[in-house]
Structures are given as structure tokens and as C-alpha cells.
């Protein structure tokens, strides 16, 4: 179930967008514990990262536009999109 990937929504307003991201098999978890209200982290599944642009497995987002940008950066770790 994709909603189970969202462990702490932290007041993020665009619930449909979070559910869409949670349905992506490259995403392991979405959580906003300890973040400013309305922001969450997207944590990627093993084998994926936010590419050389960021070099991380997690990315903070607070809007639909930020989600679109973050998701466009995902690459297979050590490879390409």
C-alpha cells in the first residue's frame, strides 16, 4: 500500500502529490519528522539517488513544484535515469 510509505505527512498540503510519489517504486519512505511544517523528506529505495546534482538518497520538498524537480533528479545509483 502506497500510503504506508508516508510515515509523517507533517501538514504537507498536496496529499494527492504525496500519494503519487509514494506509489513510485524508487521511493522507500516519505516523512517530515523534525522538519518545518509542510515539508517532508523523500527517501529513495536502495539503488537510487538524487544523482550527481545532489549526491544524496533523501531530498526535502515543500510544494508540488519541488516534488516534480526532485523526482526529475532520480537516477540509478552509479548509472543514469
Tell whether pTM > 0.85: yes
Question: What per-residue confidence (pLDDT) applies to 42?
Answer: 97
Distances (CA, A) of 28 to 42, 43, 57, 79: 8, 6, 10, 19
What per-residue confidence (pLDDT) applies to 80? 59
Helix (H) or strand (E) holding 17: helix 15-22
Residue 44 dihedral angles phi and psi, to the nearest 5°: -90, 155
Per-residue pLDDT of 43-64, as tens digits, reads 999 999 998 777 899 999 999 9
Of 31, 26, 35, 29, nearest to 72 by C-alpha is 26
Q: Flag residues of the chain having pLDDT under 50.
A: none
Amino acid at each position: 500500500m502506497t500510503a504506508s510509505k508516508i510515515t509523517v505527512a507533517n501538514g504537507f498540503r498536496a496529499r494527492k502529490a504525496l500519494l503519487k510519489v509514494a506509489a513510485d517504486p524508487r521511493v522507500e519512505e516519505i516523512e517530515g519528522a523534525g522538519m518545518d511544517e509542510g515539508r517532508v523528506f523523500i527517501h529513495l529505495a536502495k539503488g537510487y539517488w538524487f544523482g550527481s546534482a545532489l549526491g544524496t538518497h533523501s531530498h526535502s520538498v515543500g510544494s508540488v513544484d519541488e516534488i516534480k524537480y526532485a523526482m526529475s533528479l532520480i537516477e540509478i545509483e552509479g548509472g543514469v535515469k
